Copies of this chain bind each other. A is one copy, B any other.
């Protein structure tokens, strides 16, 4: 193939492949069960099969794709049961983060959490789903960071990314936006009071509700949303 190195920023080719494919999975552009042919992907991204192979291996190590010997890799297909277990785990993880955040956030962290939260109130009034989604992600990330525990952070972000495809449409449901904000409000209030137990419970309830909202459209074998632009920042950095 031609000698020139393609494209823009950052890292080794393998890393780029991991991000590229991982993003397409978590954004739902690649759908569960879809075959990931090494040759096609290699051609698609204009690299050889080797980095694609390594990327698929890494994605399989973190559970985003499934691989069986001598068979094409496929996007991980999550059963209804496994999906439920991930949502439940997410609720517990968020509860932990909220509890720790209530206990450990610095003054600055508390302040900016509250400010961001209040700012996002506007978006609810405007019904700006797209923008609210962004603030929502930001909000939760603040909770994860506020726990001041890097390992919990990693577990939580990882679990969130695996759930991402199944949450995409959650704000479509009418009134969900305002409800989400109010649930956030309970969490924020508890954190400002440094009431760990209340914060934990509020966070757990919040996720549980999201979970129910999502599972509505995740039928039989879970199938996530549509084809959004692949902008997701699928892996953490911290």
Q: How far is the CB of A202 from chain B (nearest CB, A)?
A: 17
Q: Is B151 a contact of A11 with CB atoms below 8 Å?
A: no
Q: How far is the CB of A17 from chain B (nearest CB, A)?
A: 11
Interchain CB contact (< 8 A) of A82 among B14, B85, B88, B151: B151
Interchain CB contact (< 8 A) of A92 among B18, B62, B69, B152: B152
- Residues of A39-84 at the interface with B, using a CB-CB cut-off of 8 Å, are 50, 53-54, 57-63, 69, 81-82
Docked Cα-Cα span, A154 to B62, in Å, equals 11
**A159 contacts B by Cβ under 8 Å:** yes
- Residues of A158-189 at the interface with B, using a CB-CB cut-off of 8 Å, are 159
Q: Is B58 a contact of A89 with CB atoms below 8 Å?
A: no
State whether A151 and B86 are in contact (beta carbons under 8 Å apart), knowing that A11-B69, A12-B69, A69-B11 are contacts in the complex.
yes
Interchain CB contact (< 8 A) of A152 among B50, B58, B88: B88
Q: How far is the CB of A72 from chain B (nearest CB, A)?
A: 14
Q: Is A85 a contact of B151 with CB atoms below 8 Å?
A: yes
A53 — which chain B residues lie within 8 A by C-beta? 54
**A106 contacts B by Cβ under 8 Å:** no
Q: How far is the CB of A238 from chain B (nearest CB, A)?
A: 11
A62 — which chain B residues lie within 8 A by C-beta? 61-62
- Residues of A81-136 at the interface with B, using a CB-CB cut-off of 8 Å, are 81-82, 85-86, 88-89, 92, 96
Q: Which residue of B lies closest to A50 (CB)?
A: B50
Docked Cα-Cα span, A11 to B86, in Å, equals 27
- Residues of A14-33 at the interface with B, using a CB-CB cut-off of 8 Å, are 14, 18
Which residues of A come within 8 Å of B, CB atoms?
Answer: 11-12, 14, 18, 50, 53-54, 57-63, 69, 81-82, 85-86, 88-89, 92, 96, 149-152, 154-155, 159
3 closest cross-chain pairs (CB), A and B: A58-B61, A61-B61, A89-B151
